[in-house]
Structure formats: structure tokens, C-alpha cells
Amino acid sequence: MRREPQEQQVERLIPQRIDYPESLPVVARKEDIMRAISAHQVVIVAGETGSGKTTQLPKMCLELGRGKYKRIGHTQPRRIAARAVSTRIAEELKTGETGIKTMKLKKILLKTQITPQE
């Protein structure tokens, strides 16, 4: 079976072994999370700030084989945050390469009004 050049490049970026920092709370539930990702199309993971959701979940998806032929999507509210997360994951995977695509919105309408409760 002949592989396309882009496919070969993606495989080159996937490390043989993916390490997870044991100090992060999300890593303690790694097996449960990976089982849920395998079984369901949508998985919601809630946790404290700094628990490892942003950096470790994409690595879990990669370990499960996601991202080999398609992309693993990741969103952040600011472009600089998206780039920082992408760089951080690439450093942890020791690939030295990151991929990022940003979307520029021309117009945002905010119609939410917060009123104090009495």
C-alpha cells in the first residue's frame, strides 16, 4: 500500500510513546477518559483550571489513533492562547512542530444582558 506524502509526514510527527505528567489531575482519570473518547462522538470533561484538560486531552486523542488521518481540533478564545497551547503540546510530544489555523471573525454581536437578582 503506497502512502501519500502528507500521510507519511503526519505519521512521522506521532511519537512512539506519549508521556503524561502524573502531577496533573486529568492524568489520574486517563483510562476512563480514553474509554469515553473511544465509545462516544462527544465527550465533555470538566475540571479545575490547571488540571491538564487543554494539554493532555489532545495527547490522549493522538494515543487513541485520532489525528493520524484527520485533525484533532482545539479551540481557545484568543489567537495567542491557541498558539501557546499548540506549542506546549508539540514540546511535550517532542515533535518540535505545531500546526495552527485561526479564524478571524468580522463581527460579533453580544445581546446577552446580565441583570442583578433581587
Kindly write down the DSSP assignment for every residue of the chain, as one continuous string: -PPPHHHHHHHHHS-SS----TTSHHHHTHHHHHHHHHH-S-------TTSSHHHHHHHHHHHTTTTSSSPPP---SSHHHHHHHHHHHHHHHT-----------S------------
Q: Look at residue 27 in the predicted model and tell me its pLDDT.
A: 96
Tell me, what's the pLDDT at 50? Answer: 92
Q: How far apart are CA 86 and CA 76, in angstroms?
A: 10
**Is the whole model's pTM more than 0.85, yes or no?**
no
Residues 66, 77 contacting (CB under 8 angstroms): no
**What is the model's pLDDT at position 86?**
83
pLDDT at residue 11 in the model:
57
Residue 10: the pLDDT is 52
The cell for 114 is 446580565
The CATH architecture that domain 5-93 belongs to is 3-Layer(aba) Sandwich (3.40)
> Could you report the average pLDDT of every consecutive run of 10 residues in the chain (118 residues)?
53 75 95 96 93 93 84 77 84 74 60 53
Domains of the chain, residue spans: 5-93
